[in-house]
Chains A and B, each alone.
Chain A
Amino acid sequence: DAGVTQSPTHLIKTRGQQVTLRCSPKSGHDTVSWYQQALGQGPQFIFQYYEEEERQRGNFPDRFSGHQFPNYSSELNVNALLLGDSALYLCASSYGGHGREQYFGPGTRLTVT
């Protein structure tokens, strides 16, 4: 049973560039949530996708956008990268929308220089 997968593992980008991160949920799951985790902090909720729609959104600017595909996989896009966007980006999957147990992927470490 495949768990949550994310790609790429690491990424280095330059300020002002755009980045796309990808996530495939655990088998049987239909909901994907994205989080940003800075060093020494707990994960911060970015947004959640269910039935191919953004259902919930955290306090992140519009530079952060996403998409969910019919196979439940998801992408996180960040435009106009800032140095402060450097963080671990985590994808978590669950079943049936919010309120359920979420399982995390290994994360993508983004460094903006």
Chain B
Amino acid sequence: QKEVEQNSGPLSVPEGAIASLNCTYSDRGSQSFFWYRQYSGKSPELIMSIYSNGDKEDGRFTAQLNKASQYVSLLIRDSQPSDSATYLCAVIGSNTGKLIFGQGTTLQVKP
């Protein structure tokens, strides 16, 4: 079992729709969770961090964390073509402190 799992996609949504990206993790003791956006040929950009169960909203982005079910999700409202990128879920392990990434989900927003 991978430590952090994401569906590689591509996830295709029409412009203006809600994009839903999901991630599961195996280390039940993990406390820190992050979403990064990576455009092709560029480095990852931190867009959301979440540490407590529930929802955290920042503009068009909402991160959701459910520690009991060991999943993290990212919702992007009013999706724009400029949101087309790979979204990386990352988790800091409880015992190691290492930031572990999933393989990323490619999002395509079609005009």
Binding site for B on A (CB under 8 A): 33, 35, 40-45, 48, 55-56, 58, 88, 90, 92, 97-107
Interface SS of chain B: helix, strand, loop or mixed?
Answer: strand
Number of inter-chain CB pairs below 8 Å: 56
Binding site for A on B (CB under 8 A): 4, 31-32, 34, 36, 42-46, 49, 88, 90, 92, 96-104
B25 to chain A, nearest CB (A): 13
CA distance A100 to B98 in the complex (A): 10
A33 pairs with B46, CB closer than 8 A: no
A99 pairs with B43, CB closer than 8 A: no
A77 to chain B, nearest CB (A): 20
B92 pairs with A99, CB closer than 8 A: yes
The 4 closest A-B pairs by CB, nearest first: A98-B97, A42-B101, A104-B43, A107-B43
B98 pairs with A45, CB closer than 8 A: yes
CA distance A107 to B99 in the complex (A): 17
A103 pairs with B46, CB closer than 8 A: yes
B31 pairs with A99, CB closer than 8 A: yes
A101 pairs with B46, CB closer than 8 A: yes
CA distance A16 to B99 in the complex (A): 30
Q: Interface centre among B4, B43, B88, B103, by most A CB within 10 Å?
A: B43
